[in-house]
A and B are shown apart, each in its own frame.
Chain A
């Protein structure tokens, strides 16, 4: 079920992008508003036809302008979660979900309830959208998109219309849901944090062009790729396990490189999480510092130094089996005479890690859906 997309256009916005998403993979299209990322998503869904484009899923051609093929949206097996969910306001949650099923589906009501349970919304089947909160509406929209049994799942800024607390919960739910999904998933977002938390691969879209595509870790460490989104977004993801919730409000996590203390992280002890550590929040020291307020000091060694045109450099630090990134000034790197292979200590202030920079780690996939 590989999704392959190529799109070129001059108007209304210039487009020149191609990318692919493998089955079960989540590809994030990251870009500012007006960058063309939503237009690319609409091209996949069949809601927009660029001058030159080709969209294939699992070898099936949905759109090929050169060959004159253009399946209408209702003939493409695509699941779309719209930015404002676009639920049918006159239907209940269950009816919304059933509306996306094949008319030949046996026992659609039971299937709708199963899907609503899958998105953590059991017991709300008979509510109308107006009686649901934003987060609940989003869950119905996801269930509806899955009810189509899509060959590609498209998420258009699905978290932008809910408050921050709800968004954090929904991130975890999407991560959990992915264990049940076998189709490629394309997420459109302007939020780099969201992309890093959720995506396997990232394509940065700028002025209609995919300026960089690669694994999330690669792209998020690449100052060139992130220039469009802001170089301060450079960050690494550190896998860890919740070990203890301390009385003083800190949560102790164990990463491969050692313990991490962060402000309260929701989740029972034993939960696997991934923590996004911003490169500009990391301080490097040659020796383990003493008498420092920062709670997290991870020993590691320099794996590489990326120098750009600006005053800063990105230092890749190997900590245990993981890597974190430090964005320091070139002057500091020179003063420390940092070289690849050097032993360093990476210092991370507990309070520098925001709550929404922590997400549950994906579970191993299990066949379902």
Chain B
């Protein structure tokens, strides 16, 4: 059992969720409430990571973050090491790759808040921020929660993009999914089996716990 790889995966998933939570609320709310001409294009861009093979996505990220790219050069100059083959590089890739998982359900959540309820909040004297905290989020939270759970579980299971971003440095970029792949390559079927089962258990537990929690809160609300 490769505990280092497992903790790295959990750390990556946790940070990805932490970064995408505010992003999903702001962007999901914006897409849910606003009508504008390029909305379809924005939604398509958000959905893109869902349909592209991770290898394609990873390839572009590698190009964008590499030492010779402007972003990569800037990172190198600022932090003294390159972005690819590091945990930060993985995190940036993971955040971008999870945008669709984070924004889409949050958008659906905010779309479920009736327009007149939002207007009533404003007419009750609530500023947009207060309306978000007191009225919209309490009503949209199932969507936001689903977004975060999907993001977490999906990050744990991501393989292709991490492989492309150089995911084989233990403790830095070697996540549990990569570790399992390495074990299989090395004919360590028992080790791969244990780690696979662990991953299944963690993912199942996370999703099931969320669903049960939201069902309970949902019952209390209605």
Beta-carbon contact of B139 and A90 below 8 Å: yes
Is the C-beta of A84 less than 8 angstroms from some C-beta in chain B?
A: yes
Beta-carbon contact of A148 and B222 below 8 Å: no
Beta-carbon contact of A86 and B120 below 8 Å: yes
Given contacts A80-B120, A82-B120, A84-B116, contact A90 B126 (CB under 8 A): no
Is the C-beta of B132 less than 8 angstroms from some C-beta in chain A?
A: no
Is the C-beta of A74 less than 8 angstroms from some C-beta in chain B?
A: yes
Q: List the B side residues contacting A73 at CB < 8 Å.
A: 119, 122-123
Taking CB as reference atom, which chain A residue is nearest B139? A90
Q: List the B side residues contacting A88 at CB < 8 Å.
A: 117, 120-121, 134-135
Mark contacts of B107-125 with chain A using CB atoms, 8 A cut-off: 1 yes-contact digit, 0 otherwise: 0000000101101111111
Q: Which of B123, B135, B139 contacts A80 (CB 8 A)?
A: B123
Beta-carbon contact of A82 and B116 below 8 Å: yes
Is the C-beta of B40 less than 8 angstroms from some C-beta in chain A?
A: no
Is the C-beta of A182 less than 8 angstroms from some C-beta in chain B?
A: no
- How near does chain A come to B124, taking the closest CB pair, in angstroms? 4
Q: Which of B123, B126, B222 contacts A79 (CB 8 A)?
A: B123
Beta-carbon contact of A89 and B117 below 8 Å: yes
- How near does chain B come to A116, taking the closest CB pair, in angstroms? 16
Give the docked Cα–Cα distance between A14 and B124 (Å): 29
Beta-carbon contact of B122 and A47 below 8 Å: yes
A-B contact count (CB 8 A): 65
Beta-carbon contact of A90 and B221 below 8 Å: yes
Q: List the B side residues contacting A99 at CB < 8 Å.
A: 121, 124, 126, 134-135
Q: Which of A72, A77, A89 contacts B122 (CB 8 A)?
A: A72
Give the docked Cα–Cα distance between A214 and B13 (Å): 67
Taking CB as reference atom, which chain B residue is nearest A47? B119
Most buried by A among B120, B126, B138, B221: B120
Is the C-beta of B127 less than 8 angstroms from some C-beta in chain A?
A: yes
Beta-carbon contact of B138 and A45 below 8 Å: no
Beta-carbon contact of A45 and B123 below 8 Å: yes
Taking CB as reference atom, which chain B residue is nearest A78? B123
Q: Which of A77-121 contact B (CB under 8 A)?
A: 77-80, 82-84, 86-90, 99-100, 102
Q: Which of A40-69 contact B (CB under 8 A)?
A: 45-47
Q: List the A side residues contacting B222 at CB < 8 Å.
A: 130
Give the docked Cα–Cα distance between A78 and B124 (Å): 8
Q: What is the size category of the interface that chain B forms with chain A?
A: 20 to 34
Is the C-beta of A245 less than 8 angstroms from some C-beta in chain B?
A: no
Beta-carbon contact of A100 and B116 below 8 Å: no
Is the C-beta of A178 less than 8 angstroms from some C-beta in chain B?
A: no
Q: List the B side residues contacting A87 at CB < 8 Å.
A: 117, 120
Give the docked Cα–Cα distance between A289 and B125 (Å): 61
Give the docked Cα–Cα distance between A99 and B135 (Å): 10
Q: Which of A138-165 contact B (CB under 8 A)?
A: 144-145, 147-148
Q: List the A side residues contacting B128 at CB < 8 Å.
A: 74
Beta-carbon contact of A82 and B119 below 8 Å: yes
Beta-carbon contact of A86 and B114 below 8 Å: yes
Q: Which of A46, A74, A77 contacts B126 (CB 8 A)?
A: A74
Give the docked Cα–Cα distance between A90 and B140 (Å): 11
Beta-carbon contact of A144 and B122 below 8 Å: no
Q: Which of B130-182 contact A (CB under 8 A)?
A: 131, 134-135, 138-139
Q: Which of B119, B125, B138 contacts A86 (CB 8 A)?
A: B119
Give the docked Cα–Cα distance between A145 and B131 (Å): 16
Given contacts A86-B119, A90-B138, contact A100 B124 (CB under 8 A): yes
- How near does chain B come to A137, taking the closest CB pair, in angstroms? 12
Beta-carbon contact of A89 and B134 below 8 Å: no
Q: List the A side residues contacting B125 at CB < 8 Å.
A: 74, 77, 100, 102, 148
Taking CB as reference atom, which chain A residue is nearest B115? A86
Give the docked Cα–Cα distance between A78 and B139 (Å): 24
Give the docked Cα–Cα distance between A45 and B25 (Å): 27
Taking CB as reference atom, which chain B residue is nearest A72? B122
Taking CB as reference atom, which chain A residue is nearest B135? A88
Q: List the B side residues contacting A102 at CB < 8 Å.
A: 125
Q: List the A side residues contacting B221 at CB < 8 Å.
A: 89-90, 128
Beta-carbon contact of A86 and B116 below 8 Å: yes
Taking CB as reference atom, which chain A residue is nearest B120? A86
- How near does chain A come to B122, taking the closest CB pair, in angstroms? 4
Give the docked Cα–Cα distance between A354 and B131 (Å): 44
Q: List the B side residues contacting A147 at CB < 8 Å.
A: 124
Give the docked Cα–Cα distance between A80 and B127 (Å): 16
Q: List the A side residues contacting B120 at CB < 8 Å.
A: 80, 82, 86-88, 144
Give the docked Cα–Cα distance between A61 and B106 (Å): 38
Show 5 A/B contacts (Cβ-Cβ < 8 Å), sorted by A.
A47-B119, A82-B120, A86-B119, A87-B120, A88-B120
Given contacts A46-B123, A84-B116, A130-B222, 4 further A-B contacts (CB under 8 A): A79-B123, A86-B114, A89-B139, A90-B139
Closest 9 CB pairs of A and B: A100-B124, A73-B122, A86-B116, A86-B120, A80-B123, A90-B138, A74-B122, A82-B116, A86-B117
